[in-house]
């Protein structure tokens, strides 16, 4: 549902990734030289945007200057952000403060691959109808999202390979009004181009993945359900771009039938997967 997805991606991501426990920004001092460093021991990359410059006293930067934007890849140690030496060796010098910053998952300054062709998110031989399409009148207004009518307990497959960055599976509650939005179980997968796919309304305790897992296209990741703000059992899927400036949902091409044709899915049409 529209407001649910915005809440997950905009609010919850902003909170979690500004406090990523496996990412550290720090400095080291050797003789008179201070080096500002960053570690990322997480299993996914992050984009970081600084608001201003490091605060120093009686120091100047040497080598590559401090930038406002960086991407730090997963499992990276001692990425050098800047290095400082005293301006006047006869006066006290010190590093005062790291500037405020914002973190988001992935490389959010890449161009999204809007021509990427996704697999239908269910098993070979199955066929399901799109009951609400892009910019749908019920809950997809101004959002490029799809709802597949799908019985509870249907295997949900990853439509594209990526890394699991957020999930929830502890709810067994659903209803047909917005009050239940917070109760939806979901998986969010980060793709290599910085886009993210959301799979929502999943069955209680049915996830086959955990945060940080790398998943393959076509891998079973969960079972469909009816949790959260939902008028009936279905799978909500949408793909989005999140960067420090803007959230944008994307229309996604899907392989249909035997897999030799790709198109944007249309509300009211049944789509069989024979690949």
Per-residue pLDDT of the chain (275 residues; tens, 9 = 90+): 333 333 333 333 333 344 466 889 999 999 999 999 999 998 888 889 999 999 999 999 999 889 999 999 989 999 999 999 999 999 999 999 999 988 888 887 778 899 999 999 999 999 999 999 887 666 666 778 999 999 999 999 999 999 998 899 999 999 988 888 889 999 999 999 989 999 999 999 999 999 889 999 999 999 999 999 898 999 999 998 876 556 788 999 999 999 999 999 999 999 999 99
Q: What is the 3-state secondary structure (H, E, C) of 219-253?
A: CEEEEEECCEECCCCEEEEEEEEECCCCEEEECCE
87, 58 Cβ separation under 8 angstroms: yes
261, 255 Cβ separation under 8 angstroms: yes
User: Structure tokens of 98?
Assistant: 């790291």
Q: Give all domains of the chain, ordered by start, each with its CATH number.
A: 23-105 (no CATH), 118-273 (2.70.70.10)
pTM value is: 0.80
182, 175 Cβ separation under 8 angstroms: no
């Amino acid at each position: 549902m529209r407001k649910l997805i915005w809440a997950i991606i905009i609010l919850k991501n902003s909170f979690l990734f500004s406090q990523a426990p496996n990412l550290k920004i720090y400095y080291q001092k050797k003789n008179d030289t201070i080096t500002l460093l960053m570690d990322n021991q997480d299993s996914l990359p992050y984009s970081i945007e600084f608001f201003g410059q490091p605060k120093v006293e009686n120091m100047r930067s040497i080598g590559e200057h401090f930038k406002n934007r960086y991407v730090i890849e997963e499992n990276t140690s001692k990425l050098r952000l800047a290095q400082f030496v005293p301006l006047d060796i006869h006066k006290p010098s010190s590093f005062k403060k790291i500037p405020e910053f914002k973190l988001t998952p992935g490389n959010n300054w890449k161009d999204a691959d809007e021509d990427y062709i996704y697999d239908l998110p269910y098993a070979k031989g199955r066929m399901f109808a799109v009951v609400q399409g892009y910019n749908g009148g019920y809950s997809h207004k101004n959002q490029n999202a799809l709802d597949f009518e799908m019985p509870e307990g249907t295997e949900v497959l990853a439509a594209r390979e990526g890394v699991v960055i957020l999930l929830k599976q502890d709810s067994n509650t659903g209803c047909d009004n917005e009050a239940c939005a917070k109760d939806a179980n979901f998986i969010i997968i980060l793709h290599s181009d910085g886009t993210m796919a959301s799979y929502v309304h999943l069955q209680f305790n049915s996830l086959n993945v955990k945060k940080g897992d790398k998943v393959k296209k076509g891998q079973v990741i969960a079972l469909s359900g009816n949790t959260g703000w939902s008028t009936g059992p279905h799978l909500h899927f949408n793909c989005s771009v999140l960067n420090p400036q803007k959230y944008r949902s994307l229309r996604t091409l899907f392989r249909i039938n035997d897999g030799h044709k790709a198109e944007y899915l249309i509300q009211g049409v049944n789509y069989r997967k024979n690949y």
